[in-house]
Structure 1
Amino acid sequence: MKKINLIVGILLVLLVTSCSKEETSNETIVIDQNLKNPLTIGQINARISASFENKNSFDWNQVTNHELWSAIFQESKIATIGFGENTNDFQRNTSPKNKSIENQIIAIIEKYEGKGKDKFLVSADPYLNLIDVIIEKQETVMALRKNGFIRYFEPSDYKYVTNQNVQYRSSSSSSGCGYESSALSSADYTTITPNAKVPWTFYKHNIPSAWNYSTGKGITIGVVDTGLSTNQSLLNTNFNNGNSSGRTVSSYGTYVDSIWPWSNTTDGPNDQCGHGTSMASVATAPRNDKGLPVGVAYNANLITYRAASNVILEGYHEQNGVKNAFTALGNNSNVKIISMSMGNIISSGKISDGVKYAYSKGKLIFCAGGTSTSFTNFVGVIFPAWMPEAVAVTGVKEGTSNQRCDVCHSGGEIEFTIQMERSATGNTVPVDSYYDNQSDYVGGSSVATATTAGIAALVWSKNPSWTRSQVLNKMRQSSTYYPTKNSSYGYGNINALLAVQ
C-alpha cells in the first residue's frame, strides 16, 4: 500500500510540474486591435537594426509576440521551435520526456491553427530537440511562448542581411563566391619540393618549420562550406599527389536548393560557389608537384559538406544544411576538427544546436569571426563564432597581431589571428583555384579560420592521444599574447612551430 501511495504521489508531482510549464488549455487569447496586422519587412528590419545600434546584438527571444509573428508571417510562415526540459537540453536522447514535450507543443499548434500536424509539421530533427512548423496565426505564437519547455522560437526563413542589401565578403564578391583564377605574384610564395608553392603567410606563422615535426597525418578535418569543386584534381583524384600520401578525401551535400521548405533533395556535394574549395585548399591541399599552393595540413584527411549556397547563413535551407552538416560530422568518429568560414550577424537556434551537438562529441570547432563591408564598423564577432563551443578566428595585416584586415571583424570572442593581408600590396593568401592547374587569392577571416584549423591538425597529429582541450591550450600557449588575451584579438598570431614542439 505504501508503494502504491508513493507512486501516486510521484505522478501527481510530475503532473503539477508539467502543467506549470504549459499554457492553460481553456485560456482565451485576445489580440489588441492595433496589433492584428503584421509589421512590414521594412519595419521589422528597422527594429532589428535598432537593436544592433543600441545593444550591438539581436535576439529573437527578446522581441514581442507581434514582432515574432510578423517575421514568421512575412517570409515563408515557417518557424523553428527548440524544446527541452531546460536551456541546455538540446539532444533528443537525453530525456525520455522529450517526445512528450514535442507532442505537447504540437497539440498547442493544432488547437490554435485549427489543423492537424500533417498540415503544419515540416520536419522533426532525429538528433536534436527541434521541429520546423508552419504558423499562420498570431494567437499560436502567443500561446506557444507561454510554454516553459520551449528553449527558442524563431522564424526559420527571415533574411535580414539580404533584405538590407548588406555586403558580406570573403573573397571577391558580396556573397563570398567566385570562380576566378589569378596569376600569383612571385613575392607571395616560395617554391619547395616537389614543386609546391608555400603561401607567404605560412612563413609568418612558422608553418613550414612545423612540417619537420608534423604534416597532419592521421587527422581528419571536416569543412562545412559551399562544397568541393570537381574541377580541381588536387582536392579530388590527385589528393595524394607529390609529398602527400595515404590519406582520404570525401564530400557530401546537405544543402537543398529549393524555394519549397518541404523539399529535402540536396543539390549534391559539388561546390557551386568557389568558397568551399578555397577553404579546403588552405587547410589540406597536397604538397604537390604541379606548381600550385600547398595547404597547412598537407597529409590530413578531408571531409567537406556543401551546406549552403554562399557564406551568408540565412534562409531555411542554408540553416538546415549547416545544422545537418554539424550533426553528421559530430556522428563521424573519424573527424577531430571542424572548420566553418560562414556565418551571420543574427543567430540561428538550429545551427546553435548543431554546433553544440558536434561539440558534445568532442570536436574542435573553428569559426570565422566575420568578413564584411557594411558591418565591420559596429558589429563584432558574428554567429556562430561567438558561441562558447566555437573557436573564433579573424584575419590581421602582415606584421601585426592587432590590426584587423580591411574587411575583418574583431571582438572579445576572438581566440586567434592569422596574418592574411600584405602591408605593401594588399594581396591575400594564395590557394588552389576552383579550376585545375590554376591558383587564386582568398582573404578575410575565412582564410584565417581554415589556416587555424590546419595548424590544429598539425598539433593533434603530433600528439594523437591528446584531448581537444590539450590541443587548444597548446595553440594558445604558442601565440603572441599568451597568457593574457587581447581584448579584441584573443591570443593573437599562432606560432605553429612552437605549437608542435
Structure 2
Amino acid sequence: MPTNRNRRGRSRFLVSAAAGLLLVGAAASPAQASDSTRSQQWHLDAMHAEEMWKTSTGKNITVAVIDTGVDPNNPDLKGRVLDGLDLAKGLHEGDEHSDYQGHGTGMAGLIAGTGAWGGGRGAYGLAPGAKILPIRVPSAGDTIGFAGAATMGKAIRFAADSGAQVINISMATASNGPEMDEAVRYALGRGSLVFAGTGNDAEKGNPVEYPAATPGVVAVASVGKDLRRSSFSNFGPQVDMAAPGEDMVHACGAKTGLCKGDGTSDATAIASASAALIWSKHPDWTNNQVLRVMLNTIGGPTDGAKRNDSIGYGIVRPRIALQNPGDPGPADVYPLPDLKEAEKTASPSPTASKSGEAGAPVKGDDTDANASAAEDSGSNTLWIVIGAGAAVLLVAAVAAFAISRKRRSQLPPPPPPGMPMQQTPYGGWQFTQPGPDAVPENNPYNPGRPQ
C-alpha cells in the first residue's frame, strides 16, 4: 500500500478550460503578454504548441485523470470536464468533481487547459481540445476504506469501459498487486493507453515505483528546461520516455486556481496530452500505433543508444509525430516488450520489477543519462531532435499505486492581475499539486501541514 511518509512535494498541475472552440480559432495562438500565464509556460514554447494546435488540439479524445478529483469550475477547465467516477465516496466530501487535494485539477489543467481565464490570459494545456474523465480515488491517508491496487484496478477498468483513449495516472508507490496488472491488460485490450509517473525519489533511494513499472504502462520520467533528467526523477530499466516536469505553470485546485511546481506527475500529464494530440489527428489508429509513433518520433539519448535508464527512449515530440509520423506499424502489436517479457518471466512474486526478476535492483544512473538533447535543427527550439526509434525495453511487473511525490520549487513570476500564483506544501498522500489550502505567494510554506 502507499506509504504516508512526510516529504516535500514537487509538481505542477494541468490546466483545462472552456469550450473546444477556443483552441480551434483565435485561441490557437494565445497572446503572450508579460502579464499572461501563457508567457510563463516554457514547455509549450519548447514544444511549439501553437504550431501543433493548427493541426491538432486533442479534439474528440478523452483523457481519464485518475487522481484526487477534478474541479470543473476552474476557469481554465470549464467545459472540458465530464462526469466520471468517485471511488473515495464517504472518505471525502463531494464527488469526482470535488478535488480534495488539488492535484487532479492540476493534472487536468496540464492536459486540457484552454487559457480561458481573463479573456485568454489563463493557463493552457498541451491538448486543450481534449475532454477530461475524472476518476477520484482515496489517498494513503484514508486508512479506512483505502483499497490500494484493488481501487486503482477499478479506476483503470472504469476508464477503459468509458471509452477513455488515454489514462493518466500521476501517482507512484513501491507497492503493487495483481489487480493492477490485470486492469492494465484489460485497458490495453479495450484500446486504451496508460501513462504513469516513475516517481520523485531518485535522491532518496531511487525505488522502483508502480504502476509505472507495471507491464503495459508507459513509464514517464521528468526533464527540465535543459532537457536533462530532473534530479528528483526516478530512473532505471522501467523508464520508457520523458517529458517536461520542472517549473510547470498551470491551472490547479488552489484557491487562486493557478499553480507552479515540479514532478513526474506533470511529465506524465504532458505525455498523455501528447498522445491525445496524435490520436486526434489519426482517429483510426489503435493504441499500439499511437504509442509506436510516439516512440518513432521521440528525441533520444545523446549517447546514441536506443535508450537509457534516465529518459528511456527519449523526450516526447508530438510536433514531429504530427508532421511526419512514419509507419504506425501493426495495429495489434504492443510496441514495447513489457507484456511478452512479463509472460516469459512470470513469477509468483507480486513484486517483480520491470527487469523481469522479483525485487530486481534498479540500474545506476548512466553517465550520459542526464545529457541534454541537441537543438531541433529545423526549428531552433529547445526541443530535441536526436532521433531514436522505439526498441526493446526490459520487463515489467504487477503493481499498486500512490501519489507521485514532489518537491516544492521557487514561486513563479507574478501571475496575471487578480490571479495570484500559489504553491502548496506536500499533502498527506504525497500529492504533487497545490490543494484547497494553497500557500499564498508571500508565505514560503504552510507550517500547519507536513512537508
> TM-score normalised by the shorter chain: which range applies?
0.5 to 0.7
Q: In 2, Cα distance between the equivalents of 1:356 and 1:314?
A: 28
Q: 2:281 corresponds to which residue?
A: 462
Tell me the distance in 2 between the aligned counterparts of 1:356 and 1:208.
35
Query: How far apart are 1:411 and its partner, in Å?
Result: 1.5
What's the CA shift string for 1:59-118, capped at 9, x where partnerless?
Answer: xxxxxxxxxxxxxxxxxxxxxxxxxxxxxxxxxxxxxxxxxxxxxxxxxxxxxxxxxxxx
Match of 2:239 among 380, 394, 414: 414
Matched, 1:432 2:251: yes
Q: 1:341 aligns with which of 155, 170, 175?
A: 170
Distance in 2 (CA, whole Å) between partners of 1:388 and 1:315 is 27
Q: Does 1:295 align with 2:125?
A: yes
**1:167–1:363 CA distance, 2 compared to 1 (3 A):** same
* 1:214 aligned partner: 56
What residue ranges of structure 2 are gaps of 5+ in the alignment?
A: 14-28, 324-451
Task: Report the equivalent of 2:192.
Answer: 363
Cα distance, 1:481–1:453 mapped onto 2, change above 3 Å: same
Q: Secondary structure of 2:188's partner?
A: helix
The change in CA–CA distance for 1:475 and 1:277 in structure 2 (over 3 A counts) is same
Q: Residue in 2 aligned with 1:234?
A: 76
User: Which of residues 80, 83, 91 is equivalent to 1:250?
Assistant: 83
User: Rg larger in 1 or in 2?
Assistant: 1
- Aligned partner of 1:53 in structure 2 is none
Distance of 1:446 and 1:218 partners within structure 2? 24
Residue of structure 1 in register with 2:213 after alignment:
386
CA distance in 1, matches of 2:132, 2:220: 20
Amino acid at match of 1:347: N
Q: CA deviation at 1:406?
A: 3.0
Contact 1:314–1:344 (CA under 8 A) maintained in structure 2: no
Query: Which one of 252, 261, 268 corresponds to residue 449 of structure 1?
Result: 268
How far apart are the structure 1 equivalents of 2:289 and 2:75? Answer: 35
Letter of the structure 2 residue corresponding to residue 276 of structure 1: G
SS of alignment partner, residue 165 of structure 2? strand
2:222 to 369, 383, 395: 395
Q: What is the Cα deviation at residue 319 of structure 1? A: 3.6
* The one of 307, 316, 322 aligned to 2:146: 316
Query: Cα distance, 1:378 vs. partner?
Result: 2.6
Superposition deviation, residue 228 in structure 1: 1.0
Residue 349 of structure 1 and its aligned partner are, at CA, apart by: 2.3
Match of 1:169 in 2: 9
What 5-or-longer segments of structure 1 have no aligned partner? 1-157, 177-189, 240-246, 259-264, 422-427
| Contact 2:31 2:120 (8 Å CA) reproduced | no
C-alpha distance in 2, partners of 1:200/1:357? 36
| Conserved 8 A contact 1:218-1:461 | yes
Q: Which has a greater percent of strand? A: 1
The CA deviation string for residues 242-263 of structure 1, in whole angstroms up to 9 with x for no partner, is xxxxx663342112455xxxxx
In 2: Cα distance, 1:310 partner to 1:233 partner: 29
- Within 5 Å, give how 1:27-426 maps onto structure 2: 161-162=3-4, 165=5, 167=7, 169-171=9-11, 192=31, 197=38, 199-235=41-77, 238-239=78-79, 249-258=82-91, 268-269=95-96, 270-288=98-116, 289-309=119-139, 316-332=146-162, 334-372=163-201, 376-400=203-227, 403-421=228-246
Contact 1:313 1:344 in 2 (8 A): no
The answer (yes or no) to whether the contact 1:311–1:343 under 8 Å persists in 2 is no
Q: Structure 1 residues 474, 230: CA separation in 2 closer, same or farther (over 3 Å shift)? A: closer
The answer to which structure, 1 or 2, has the higher relative contact order (CA under 8 A, 6+ apart) is 2
Seen in structure 2, the aligned counterparts of structure 1 residues 166 and 287 have a Cα distance that, compared at 3 Å, is closer
Give the distance between the partners of 1:308 and 1:248, measured in 2 at CA: 20
TM-score, normalised to structure 2's length? 0.60
Partner of 2:292: 473
Specify whether residues 290 and 251 from structure 1 end up closer, same or farther in structure 2 by C-alpha distance, changes over 3 A only: farther
- The TM-score normalised by the length of structure 1 is 0.54
**CA deviation digits over 1:432-474, x for unaligned, max 9?**
1325764111321000000110010000001111111111111
Q: Separation in 2 of the partners of 1:487 and 1:394?
A: 10
Counterparts of 2:187 and 2:8, CA distance in 1: 26
Structure 1 stretch 197-206 or stretch 335-344: which is displaced more?
197-206
Displacement of 1:230 after TM fit? 4.9
Question: What is the alpha-carbon distance in structure 1 between the residues aligned to residue 244 and residue 297 of structure 2?
Answer: 15
> Match of 2:444?
none
Give the whole-Å Cα distance in 2 for the aligned partners of 1:279 and 1:311: 20
Letter of the 2:292 partner, please give it: N
Kindly report structure 1 stretches of 4+ aligned residues shifted beyond 6 Å: 193-196, 310-315
For 1:498 and 1:404, the matched residues in 2 are separated by: 21
Structure 1 residue 320 displacement after superposition: 3.7
- Tell me the secondary structure at the aligned position of residue 479 of structure 1: coil
Q: Alpha-carbon deviation of 1:356?
A: 2.3
1:327 counterpart SS class: helix
Paired residue secondary structure (2:147): helix
1:485 to 304, 307, 314: 307
Do the aligned residues in 1 keep the contact of 2:11 with 2:245 (CA within 8 Å)? no
Distance 2:193 2:51 in 1: 24
| 1:324 CA displacement | 1.5
For the residue of structure 2 that corresponds to 1:192, the secondary structure is coil
Give, in angstroms, the shift of residue 205 of structure 1.
2.5
Change (3 A) 1:433 1:488: closer
CA contact (8 A) 1:323 1:354 kept: yes
SS in structure 1 at match of 2:194: strand
1:302-360 CA distances to partner (integer Å, 9 max, x unpaired)?
A: 1011113369999833444322211111212x311100001211212223322222222
Cα separation, 2, equivalents of 1:340 and 1:415: 15
Query: Cα RMSD (Å) of the superposition?
Result: 3.0
Q: 1 or 2, which has the higher helix percentage?
A: 1
